[in-house]
């Protein structure tokens, strides 16, 4: 039903921007479940394009919008959302660096997020990247499909006894640390807010970043993107690392200086990199661009390296995670709109 025809005060209209088929499937299930069990109702419209000044007209008549990681919700967008009567921006993700939430707060718009969905999904994908890179599984797969069964160039190493540096020990980083500990690796931890229970559980310790850089055979990033963490891994950081280190990033692309990473790979400082995110991914990720040329020189270079595995922000992409994301997002909107309850607010 078009929003303009929906005059029921007990119905909240939500516009989902940057929607894919899987978003629609999981959110439709959750909205159907909500509507079956509540007298208040939710109504959804799905827009495949990202939120922008050109697509905002799709939100006229709505009371909330839902956006994803690559939707940019800046002051101009927020001002226009306010003009059409929208006071809720619901992020269906954990990160919120793409939203000017301080400005949103100043003009009375609530920004909600999904702080946790399935941390196991991202943690397991991180480990999958490491195993694939180390044992050259991606290269072996292509060889055998071409009837080539040579083992030349596929030599890996035992993870047992090696040192892993975990930067960020929230829910995801903690699970990765436990998995690495299960492999028999020595685990070093770094976080502004230390989880001593985790450290004790896996017989580990918190150290300074420089110690992570100088002692780790594998470094994995699980921290948010803030001004102080922007390009955390830059030339200076790479210079301090062991020769042949493996870099993993399933958090935020801006944590790594892409040009510095390329140079570190070329020099052999970085043996391999497993990336599920990229700083300028919003122009590429979640879309089929197979008939187009990659114009980003850093991305193009990364795609040429046979010791880099780049996945398109799919670490979260499991049934369990998508179910949890839909449930929490709908719960955030419904509780605020129907009961005035504020939860998972970005502030």
Residues with catalytic annotation? 252, 281, 313
Cβ(122)–Cβ(316) below 8 Å: yes
Cβ(93)–Cβ(73) below 8 Å: no
Both structure tokens of 1: 């039903």
Give 213-248 as a 3 state SS string.
HHHCCEEEECCCCCCCCCCCECHHHHHHCCCCEEEE
Cβ(335)–Cβ(343) below 8 Å: yes
Which single residue is written with the structure tokens 């050259």? 136
Which single residue is written with the structure tokens 């995801």? 172
Which single residue is written with the structure tokens 């109702």? 41
Cβ neighbors of 295 (< 8 A, separation 6 or more) are none
163-167 and 218-221 strand pairing: parallel
């Amino acid at each position: 039903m078009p929003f303009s025809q929906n005059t029921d005060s007990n119905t909240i209209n939500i516009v989902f921007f940057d929607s894919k088929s899987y978003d629609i499937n999981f959110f439709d299930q959750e909205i159907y479940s909500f509507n079956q069990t509540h007298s208040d109702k939710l109504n959804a419209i799905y827009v495949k394009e990202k939120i922008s000044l050109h697509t905002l007209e799709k939100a006229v008549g709505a009371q909330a919008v839902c956006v994803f990681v690559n939707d940019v919700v800046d002051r101009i967008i927020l001002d226009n959302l306010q003009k059409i009567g929208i006071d809720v921006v619901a992020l269906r993700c954990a990160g919120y660096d793409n939203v000017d939430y301080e400005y949103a707060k100043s003009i009375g718009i609530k920004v909600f997020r999904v702080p946790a969905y399935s941390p196991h999904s991202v943690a397991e994908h991180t480990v999958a990247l490491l195993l694939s890179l180390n044992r050259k599984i991606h290269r072996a797969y292509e060889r055998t499909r071409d009837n080539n069964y040579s083992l030349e160039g596929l030599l890996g190493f035992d993870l047992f006894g090696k040192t892993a540096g975990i930067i960020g020990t929230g829910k995801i980083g903690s699970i990765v640390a436990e998995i690495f500990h299960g492999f028999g690796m020595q685990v070093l931890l770094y976080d502004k807010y230390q989880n001593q229970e985790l450290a004790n559980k896996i017989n580990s310790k918190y150290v300074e970043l420089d110690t992570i850089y100088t002692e780790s055979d594998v470094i994995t990033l699980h921290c948010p993107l803030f001004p102080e963490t922007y390009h955390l891994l830059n030339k200076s950081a790479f210079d301090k690392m062991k020769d042949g280190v493996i870099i993993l990033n399933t958090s935020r692309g801006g944590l790594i200086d892409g040009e510095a990473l390329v140079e570190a790979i070329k020099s052999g400082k970085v043996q391999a990199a497993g990336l599920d995110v990229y700083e300028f991914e919003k122009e590429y990720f979640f879309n089929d661009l197979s008939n187009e040329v990659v114009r980003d020189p850093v991305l193009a270079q990364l795609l040429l390296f046979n010791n880099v595995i780049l996945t398109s922000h799919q670490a979260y992409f499991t049934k369990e995670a998508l179910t949890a994301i839909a449930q929490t997002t709908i719960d955030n909107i419904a509780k605020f709109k129907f009961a005035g309850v504020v939860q998972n607010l970005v502030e």
